[in-house]
Structure 1
Amino acid sequence: MTKMTGAVAIIKSLKLNGVDTVFGLPGGQLDHLFDAMYHEGDDIRLIHSRHEQGVAYMAYGYAKSTGKVGVYTVVPGPGLLNSTGALCTAWGNYSPVLCISGQIASTGIGKGYGDLHEIDDQLGMISNITKWQSPINHPSDAPEVIAESFKQLTTGCPQPVAIEMPMDMMGLETEVGLIPAVVHDKKPVDRDLIESAVSILKHAKKPMIVVGSGALECSELVLEIAKRLQAPVMACRSGKGIVSSEHYLSANFPMGHRLWGEADAVLAIGTRLHWPLVMWGTDDEQKIIRVDIDAKQITRITVPEVGIVGDSGVVLDVMKQLIEQDNHQATSREAELTELKSAVDAEIREKVGPQMAYLDVIREELPRDGIFVDEVTQTGFVSWYGFPVYKPRQHISAGYQGTLGYGYATALGVMAGNMDKRVIQISGDGGFMFNVQELSTAVQYKLPLVTIVFNDGRFTNVQRQQKEWFDGRIICSDLHNPDFVKLAESFGAAGYLATDPESMRTAIQKAFAQDGPAIIEVKLNEFFPAPWPFLMMPQNRKEVCK
């Protein structure tokens, strides 16, 4: 037991669990916590933002790109509420983000006095977007709460956790017993179910695999099984790179749609399987096997032929052994799948060529180990199926939450967690302005993020729908924008102007040649073609959801 304040107990406990980076925005209820971080010196890298949404998205980007826990801290009440857009993005994307919120003095909690930032039961308020929540009511409780937080963050579904501590308890000094970090064993899996799944896959004529974020840590196993079965592997967003886009067994979303229509067995690993089941359908001729750490996902839409609850790595390791027992090797489908991949790529380029021209340049200039962060924008939508990546965690997105404006701050967190890599983030002019203030953070902390802002002066998706669905009644979709180059320069960042893919290439090269953050404004006059034909694809099996 050692005498320390509640704030010090929190920070010491974070360090014991391997945390070396915290994203935070200071305020009255966090004074003791920030002072505790000050005393840790270089052991804790503290990055502060200009808005609570910023630090929460940075923690999300850090977690999503590294696989480690992303930690952020904000004041209670409105500060916590400002961060919840990012928190629900982390929730929807199975990302281990730890929110540490301040709290009013313990003597005022639940009294309704109207203390600064007071909201009654703020942890209850965010319980639907966090996996676990707990107050820290006394300094001596801090180690146990932090230990349980990391257990929740690193076992089962890796979703956000939120904790809070009253400001007076953060400052209270008392005896505290720190708890060392614990590595938790993975739960055993049902071998009989895996044997049933393997039997189906071995006898399938046209198997396919669908992967999501639940398979990020077992890419080698996925590829080995795919090779044995000659099963193409489809990914949309989070699963991209689990099998390299260059491999003939890798299938993007539109290619996956065509394969789904003829697949007689589907192995779905760590994915909601939402779009295939809801939009494309399934039937009795297609046997679906689901592997997921989240038991709720397995039967949420339909009941699969086989449902296996467990860590994907553990399940796939057993599955690989069983497939190899009799030296099973399916006939190569390389020629067939290579031809299909080429045909789909040609169709994509024909229909969304303008977006692909920009994405091609980004891919050519971004190193192979670089990370691409998209945004809810026209080029971002096309990137889901048109931007190749080669390893897991090289394409970061907001997933199904579609949180417009998430991209820039998220990419700063990606950059902070991957300072040895190049990071390019794309935004539309609408989404970029949601967190434009974080240019200050990028400059202050020398985060060499390159951001490309496609400026067409409109919320393009909204305006397209107004033209096509509402007889051209345009309302609130035209935008008045700053000069983004001058805006970047006013913050002390580099700014470049581009008007086409090749001038953007030159700008990227210049941005990489300097050592700070950069903004590349791409001036657009054209109305990009709709990306949706390759996302909202028609039903090709029996309807599941009406």
Structure 2
Amino acid sequence: MTKKDQADDDLLKGTAAEIMLKVLVEGGVKDIFALPGIQNDDLFDALYKTTGLRTIHTRHEQGAAYMAAGYAMTSGQPGTYAVVPGPGFLNTTAALSTAYGCCAPVLALVGQIKSSLMGRMTGQLHEIPDQLSVMQQFTRWTAQIKAPSQAACIAADALFELTKKPSRPVGLECPMDVWGKEGVARRPAMREHECDAVDFDAVKRAAEILGSAKSPLIVVGGGAQDASAEVRELSTMLHAPVTANRMGQGVVSARDPLWVDAVTGHILWGKADVVLAIGTRLQLQLMTWGVDDKLKVIRIDADPDQLERIHAPTVGLVGDAKTILRELIESIPAVNNTHSQSKEIELARASGQKKLQTLAPQIEYLKAIRNALPDEGIFVDDLTQISYVSRAAFPVYHPRTYISPGYQGTLGWGTSAAIGAQVACPDVPVVSVIGDGGFMFGVQEMATAVQHNIPFITILANDNSYGNVMRIQDNKYGGRRIGSELRNPDFKKLTDSFGAHYLFAKTPGELQHALKKAININGPVVIEVPVSSMPDPWKVLQYSSSRS
């Protein structure tokens, strides 16, 4: 190759949108969830021309962003969406806040009005004040593409920011008169993050504390999803049980003898003398399960601000969980005096199971789902009675196969998140477990799934109400119901009208059979499950301090 050929190869020519997309594709972006509009016309023309990038157009902006979140959470790779500015962008902010809370690498591509009119508030279509400032509230990093020559380096910077740990959403905006402007940009070098320097003195202190523990406990969150092997190795070395609430499900297989559900974990927390928290805010444990002077807490987190936000740890380690755990694994054998806790774990597990038995109706449905769903199948947790209980009673066997909206608790995210998860993981079944109230939040995206032949499965638990709200109104307010009773459509006719497949199951046994059948159907499936009032999950799952 001549110097001239090399120089030409280093240049990207085309519109700002085309240049940006070329860099994103070269950086690994394969799918984009998008909804068109006039400010993004030139972007969509560029999408049409771009090879190696699948465009999935949705029926609502919020759906596009939730799909990107589901995609990111199951794959660990950036999930990308594109929408128009103003109300289009604002429709995505619930999903962006969910992605932020769940540390999901979501890339938002947002249009803008004409450059010359920005900030003047002349009443342009979709104009809002200072859109970039709004975007900054839900993202780690934002930028505006002002010219084609900037498109490549800004796109590369966005990819770089998306790979920082902990993951966070990133946002780009581009005015409508810039997307289609022709120009030239130099192909940027793709940067990689340097590993954070490990604090070996802190590792040594942590190893000594863990090695001398009598009742160590490990708590994992979403930040441990890519360190599964290291967590398992360390837990075995320390004879330490491992537990999680939502985001850490699957880090250790539920078949592992050292894995314990959250109810059992709550019991063991009360007797623990050392807790190792990996990639978790530890909010539930520190603020509810209780802390005292007898408990030593060691925390590993990529975000230094998290370490002391609620309670100062005994030792704090900042950096990549996988790297730090590997150092601990190397350091602990020389100081390891831990012993088996198998008897204590089994006693706690038996006590936890006794508590969970009070939620038998929900658990029977969860057993049916688990029996039908392959080990690598993905469970999407929406806000419904069965899903609430899944956080403690659904066995998860692999990392990134249980996804949840986390502390944002965004009702109705499940349909769109499951579609995104299915696009990211086309070879495994994806199941959204959702109530009738939440299903109607995003039901229009069934049309998206049918049009793009995305074969995800919805388990629709229908009690014709916002069941959680209704139970509170009945129990706390003497049955004064308001806003909690729902008049639903005929879900079979609704499903049929989209061209999706409909199944019906009245019992857990029928659900298991229906789910096995649905997994073999090439297309989206809705399994309606009529349910009545179920036991209050919060009598078990709303914890108090277990420290005595």
State the TM-score, normalized to the length of structure 1.
Answer: 0.97
2:207 equivalent among 198, 216, 220: 198
**Does the Cα contact within 8 Å between 1:9 and 1:178 map onto a contact in 2?**
no
**In 2, Cα distance between the equivalents of 1:84 and 1:522?**
31
Query: 1:27 maps to which residue?
Result: 37
Query: 2:353 maps to which residue?
Result: 345
- By how many angstroms is 1:329 displaced? 6.2
1:387 equivalent among 380, 394, 398: 394
2:293 equivalent among 272, 284, 306: 284
What is the DSSP-based 3-state SS (H/G/I as helix, E as strand, rest coil) of the residue aligned with 2:503?
A: strand
2:77 corresponds to 1:71: no
2:515 corresponds to 1:508: yes
Query: 2:408 maps to which residue?
Result: 401
1:531 equivalent among 532, 537, 540: 537
- By how many angstroms is 1:375 displaced? 0.6
Q: How many residues align?
A: 538
What is the DSSP-based 3-state SS (H/G/I as helix, E as strand, rest coil) of the residue aligned with 2:225?
A: helix
Query: 2:128 maps to which residue?
Result: 119
**Does the Cα contact within 8 Å between 1:485 and 1:520 map onto a contact in 2?**
no
Query: 1:8 maps to which residue?
Result: 18
CA deviations on 1:218-237 (whole Å, 9 max, x unpaired) are 11111111111111111111
CA deviations on 1:204-228 (whole Å, 9 max, x unpaired) are 1001011001111111111111111
Query: 1:216 maps to which residue?
Result: 225
What is the DSSP-based 3-state SS (H/G/I as helix, E as strand, rest coil) of the residue aligned with 2:226?
A: helix
**Does the Cα contact within 8 Å between 1:207 and 1:229 map onto a contact in 2?**
yes
What is the DSSP-based 3-state SS (H/G/I as helix, E as strand, rest coil) of the residue aligned with 2:137?
A: helix
- By how many angstroms is 1:288 displaced? 0.5
What is the DSSP-based 3-state SS (H/G/I as helix, E as strand, rest coil) of the residue aligned with 1:126?
A: helix
Letter in 2 for 1:530: D
**In 1, Cα distance between the equivalents of 2:458 and 2:353?**
26
State the 4+ residue runs in structure 1 displaced beyond 3 angstroms. Answer: none
**In 2, Cα distance between the equivalents of 1:449 and 1:262?**
42
Letter in 2 for 1:363: R
- By how many angstroms is 1:339 displaced? 4.1
Query: 1:136 maps to which residue?
Result: 145
**In 2, Cα distance between the equivalents of 1:65 and 1:361?**
23
The alpha-carbon distance between structure 1 residues 248 and 533, as it changes in their structure 2 partners (threshold 3 A), is farther
**In 2, Cα distance between the equivalents of 1:513 and 1:210?**
36
**In 1, Cα distance between the equivalents of 2:225 and 2:505?**
35
CA deviations on 1:40-74 (whole Å, 9 max, x unpaired) are 24x10111100000010000000000000000000
- By how many angstroms is 1:118 displaced? 0.7
Structure 1 gaps of 5+ residues are none
The alpha-carbon distance between structure 1 residues 389 and 2, as it changes in their structure 2 partners (threshold 3 A), is closer
Letter in 2 for 1:425: S
Letter in 2 for 1:245: A
What is the DSSP-based 3-state SS (H/G/I as helix, E as strand, rest coil) of the residue aligned with 2:174?
A: strand
**In 2, Cα distance between the equivalents of 1:65 and 1:153?**
15
CA deviations on 1:294-322 (whole Å, 9 max, x unpaired) are 11110001111111111111111111100
Query: 2:8 maps to which residue?
Result: none
**Does the Cα contact within 8 Å between 1:356 and 1:386 map onto a contact in 2?**
yes
- By how many angstroms is 1:514 displaced? 1.7
**In 2, Cα distance between the equivalents of 1:8 and 1:381?**
44
Query: 2:344 maps to which residue?
Result: 336
CA RMSD between the two structures: 1.2
The alpha-carbon distance between structure 1 residues 329 and 37, as it changes in their structure 2 partners (threshold 3 A), is farther
Task: State the percentage of identical aligned residues.
Answer: 45
Query: 2:158 maps to which residue?
Result: 149
2:329 corresponds to 1:320: yes
**In 1, Cα distance between the equivalents of 2:117 and 2:431?**
46
1:437 equivalent among 425, 438, 444: 444
Query: 1:378 maps to which residue?
Result: 385
CA deviations on 1:68-119 (whole Å, 9 max, x unpaired) are 0000000000000001111000000000000000111111111111111111
2:462 corresponds to 1:455: yes
Query: 2:99 maps to which residue?
Result: 90
